[in-house]
């Protein structure tokens, strides 16, 4: 009796999660294979404030890769895409979003369509059974007209499917939806809950779940892919855009202690004029005593988050996965991983065996990493 309660207390006090089972994820031996493409690198001039805060001098532009995931179900051979990135000809988006490109605010580096990347990698488009949009923003929907009409489209039930020109301000157009089966995922029917996130078992065998993560846009959803019987990849869409919106937190710091060299680097790569923690001193940021994530979701009137408060709630839930040693969280635009991500044709399944998470979770505080936005940029040539 005492032993049992002692164990229970030590779990609570120590705060270490025993396993993914504590989230309510059922056992299964069914898995999916996951591979990732970067469809392109985009920049939105002077728009970083629409994503997070604070914005330090010299970091006003939003820079982001656009990841698209190929998910293959091992039991059936079915293939899914989770998000498609942006089409390579953004001037042909619906006018309300094409304006980002025509005004010069949006710049694309080496734009490609995901369909070209798939075919170039030997994946025929007719083998893609379904495309899942985390949400219907232009940088996730690709160009559906290039997929055969046998490819189903899966969207969150609350997704706004208004079409330009019937609705002049619509961000979608007929070619995004026409000529194919469109299935809406309704989480009110979900009977699973993981870390307070409603979940739907997509294949019915525990290999791939869709998760309800509203806030960024109505109908926004994410996915949890079981890549081995005991390890997972959470495909986080735009629940957050920069890992500094989720890290660090106490549980994360406990399970993923910052390596000594990066602790030292963080003393000066994070400006104490803008960020603080209990053991920081002026000019020397102390990471281990920081209990709160570094960046906050933008709640400005022009925020890219349709509902910042609900977005924060979804972020908090997904952040519990981010702190877990058995779950790798990959958001759609994580620029901290741009140069370290094992891209297609590599498989992401063995991320745990490769220590990928341990090796990369703190990259965002490295001075040379493009995610390092925590010190002002002064005149470097001066």
Taking the C-alpha atoms of residue 85 and residue 183, their distance in angstroms, rounded to an integer, is 20
The span of 54-62, 210-218, 237-245, 352-360 binding Zn ion (CB under 5 A) equals: 237-245
Nearer to Zn ion, 25 or 44 (CB): 44
Q: Does 83 bind Zn ion (CB under 5 A)?
A: no
Stretch that binds Zn ion, among 156-164, 224-232, 238-246, 314-322 (CB under 5 A): 238-246
Number of neighbouring beta carbons within 10 Å of residue 226: 26
**From 238, 322, 324, 334, residue interacting with Zn ion (rule: CB under 5 A):** 238
Residues 127-146 that bind Zn ion (CB under 5 A): 139
For residue 181, the minimal CB distance to Zn ion (Å) is 24
Q: Least distance to Zn ion from the beta carbon of 86, Å?
A: 9
| Token duo for residue 105 | 């605010």
Q: How far is the CB of 83 from Zn ion (least distance, A)?
A: 8
Residue where the block lists tokens 């990369």:
360
Is residue 379 classed exposed, middle or buried when 0-12, 13-18 and 19+ CB atoms within 10 A define those classes? exposed
The secondary structure of the chain in percent helix, strand, coil, rounded to multiples of 5, reads 25, 25, 50
Which range binds Zn ion by CB under 5 A, 176-184, 234-242, 342-350, 356-364?
234-242
**N- to C-terminal Cα separation, the chain:** 69
Answer whether 334's CB lies under 8 Å from 209's CB: no
Give how far Cα 154 sits from Cα of 80, 104, 175, 318, Å.
Answer: 10, 31, 15, 21
Considering the complex, what minimum distance in angstroms separates the CB of residue 140 from Zn ion? 6
176 is an interface residue for Zn ion by CB under 5 A: no
Nearest to Zn ion of 47, 238 (CB atom): 238
Based on CB atoms, which residue is closest to Zn ion, 72 or 139?
A: 139
What the block records as the tokens of 192 is 């699973």
Binding site for Zn ion (CB under 5 A): 139, 238
């Amino acid at each position: 009796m005492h032993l049992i309660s002692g164990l229970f207390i030590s779990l609570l006090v120590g705060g270490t999660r025993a396993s993914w089972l504590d989230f309510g994820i059922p056992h299964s031996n069914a898995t999916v294979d996951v591979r990732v493409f970067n469809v392109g690198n985009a920049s939105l001039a002077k728009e970083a404030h629409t994503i997070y805060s604070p914005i330090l001098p010299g970091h006003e532009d939003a820079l982001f890769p656009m990841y698209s995931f190929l998910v293959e179900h091992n039991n059936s051979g079915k293939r899914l895409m989770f998000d498609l990135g942006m089409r390579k000809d953004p001037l042909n988006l619906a006018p309300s979003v094409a304006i980002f490109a025509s005004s010069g605010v949006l710049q694309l580096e080496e734009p490609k369509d995901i369909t070209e990347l798939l075919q170039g990698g030997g994946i025929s488009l007719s083998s893609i059974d379904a495309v899942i949009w985390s949400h219907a923003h232009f940088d996730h929907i690709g160009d559906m007209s290039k997929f055969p009409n046998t490819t189903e489209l899966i969207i969150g039930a609350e997704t706004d499917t208004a079409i330009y020109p019937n609705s002049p301000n619509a961000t979608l157009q007929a070619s995004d939806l026409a000529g194919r089966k469109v299935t809406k995922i309704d989480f009110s029917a979900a009977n699973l809950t993981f870390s307070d996130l409603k979940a739907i078992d997509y294949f019915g065998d525990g290999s791939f779940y869709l998760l309800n993560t509203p806030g960024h846009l109505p109908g926004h959803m994410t996915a949890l892919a079981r890549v081995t019987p005991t390890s997972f990849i959470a495909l986080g869409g735009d629940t957050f855009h920069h890992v500094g919106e989720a890290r660090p937190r106490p549980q994360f710091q406990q399970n993923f202690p910052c390596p000594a060299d990066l602790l030292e680097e963080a003393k000066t790569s994070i400006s104490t004029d803008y960020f603080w923690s209990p053991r920081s001193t002026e000019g020397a940021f102390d990471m281990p005593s920081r209990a709160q994530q570094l960046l906050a979701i933008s709640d400005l009137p022009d925020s890219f988050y349709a509902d910042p408060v609900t977005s924060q709630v979804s972020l908090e839930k997904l952040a519990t996965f981010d702190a877990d040693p058995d779950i790798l969280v990959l958001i759609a635009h994580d620029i901290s991983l741009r140069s370290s991500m094992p891209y297609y044709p590599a498989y992401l399944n063995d991320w745990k065996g490769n220590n990928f998470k341990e090796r990369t979770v703190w990259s965002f505080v490295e001075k040379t990493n493009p995610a390092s936005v925590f010190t002002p940029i002064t005149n470097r040539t001066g």
